[in-house]
A and B are shown apart, each in its own frame.
Chain A
Amino acid sequence: MIVTQFVILGAALFSLGVYGVLTRRNAVLVLLSVELMLAAVNINFVAFDVFVQDRIAGGQIFALFVIAVAAAEVGIGLAIVLLIFRNRQSANVDELDLMKL
């Protein structure tokens, strides 16, 4: 195994996640794509942790932290989506153009 293969796999996942974030209209699916990006990051963390043979497993632990923070992010993100949906009867991102005003 070489470390590059994992980095490229991570890059592919990350780019797909970016693609999803940029193209999806539904806010829930945007969040879903963000999860994909975070998974890609985790793969990099663990791959490099194994690559450098970290004795304290720092990369793995940061992957754990990413998972925890991702869970928090989904919780908050969905709460926000819920709030938007409640106020505007829609969860579509492109209808949220109040930033223009």
Chain B
Amino acid sequence: MSDWFSQAENWVFLVIAVPMVVAAWRSVTSRNVVHAVLFLVAALAASAAIFLLLGAEFIAWTVVLVYIGAVIVLFLFGIMITRAPLGIETQLSHSTQTKIGAAIVAGALFALISVTAIRAFGDAEMVAAPTRAGEVGQSIFQRFVIPFETVSVVLLAALIGGIVLARRDPVEGDPTLGGDVDRARAASEGGGP
């Protein structure tokens, strides 16, 4: 173990990993919705840093761009549209009883995976060599070109699905339709509030 601590990169790892776990912890327990999202940003940024440590530059920047850039914005939109309470809110999580049950399950899961990993790999050393974006690109477009195309189809399907799900049906006077968007539309159509 002293071996482990003598390596500089492991200190770097700790410097990233500890705040990451803390951020993740805060993100699932925070009572403020926006804070939860911001802690997720921190956790994901840390995961990008982990990827850099592993030499996977392309993944790291993809995480920054896609997750921190796009997905988080989506979350914030989701929060605003569903009018989640923006301040401190005690009703964001379930009761303490549920929390204890969940904590037991999650803890057991963590213990299980950790024990399994230690038993399987022990202290097998690994060497991080940087993987250039070019290599990843070559691999995607030669070896993995069909999965890549499939993923693009999945994304397209998600795009269409998202639109189909989220668009409101053009039924006038439907009592189940409500909310800001409706009022905004009514206003824009000249009907007044």
A–B direct contact (CB < 8 Å)? yes
Q: Report which A residues bind B (CB closer than 8 A).
A: 1-20, 22-29, 31-33, 35-36, 39, 42-43, 46-47, 49-51, 53, 56-58, 60-61, 63-65, 67-76, 78-83, 85-87, 89, 91-92, 94
* Cα A35 to Cα B135 with chains together (Å): 27
The tally of residues in B whose CB lies under 8 Å from a CB in A reads 94
Contact between B136 and A57, CB atoms less than 8 A apart: yes
A82–B13 Cα distance when bound, in Å, is: 39
How would you classify the secondary structure of chain A's contact residues: helix, strand, loop or mixed?
helix
**Partner pick for A74 among B56, B74, B93, CB 8 A cutoff:** B74
When distances are taken between beta carbons in the complex, the residues of chain A under 8 Å from B79 are: 28
Shortest Cβ distance from residue A86 to the other chain B in the assembled complex, whole angstroms? 6
Partner of B113, one of A7, A49, A68, A89: A7
**Are B158 and A13 in touch, CB under 8 angstroms?**
no
9 cross-chain pairs, A with B, having the tightest CB-CB distances, nearest first:
A20-B28, A72-B158, A22-B102, A11-B113, A15-B110, A79-B165, A7-B117, A19-B106, A91-B82
Q: How close is B26's CB to chain A, nearest CB, in angstroms?
A: 10
B62 cross-chain contacts in A, Cβ below 8 A: 64, 67
Asked if residues A22 and B105 are in contact (CB atoms below 8 Å), the reply is yes
- Inter-chain contact A75/B27, CB cutoff 8 Å: no
Chain A residues with CB under 8 Å of B136's CB are 57, 60-61, 64
Contact B124 A3 (CB under 8 A): yes
Contact A3–B121 (Cβ < 8 Å): yes
Per a CB cutoff under 8 Å, which of B21, B27, B56 touches A20? Answer: B27
Interface string of B96-116 (1 = CB under 8 A from A): 001101110111011001100
CA distance A81 to B75 in the complex (A): 11
Which of A5, A57, A72, A82 is B131 in contact with, Cβ under 8 Å?
A57
Pair B21/A12 contact, Cβ less than 8 Å: yes
Known contacts A22-B101, A61-B136, then 4 further A-B pairs from the complex at CB < 8 Å, ordered by chain A residue = A32-B37, A60-B131, A82-B78, A91-B82
Given contacts A4-B122, A15-B110, A23-B99, contact A46 B56 (CB under 8 A): yes
- Whether the pair B24, A13 counts as a contact (CB closer than 8 A) is yes
Select which of A12, A49, A71, A91 is within 8 A of B56 by beta carbon. Answer: A49
Q: Separation in Å of the A18 CB from the closest CB of chain B?
A: 5
Residues of B within 8 A of A35 (CB): 40, 44, 67, 71
- Which residues of A sit under 8 angstroms from B67, Cβ to Cβ? 35, 39, 67, 70
Chain B residue with Cβ nearest A68: B151
Give, as a whole number of angstroms, the nearest-CB distance from B71 to chain A: 5
Q: Are B43 and A13 in contact (CB under 8 A)?
A: yes
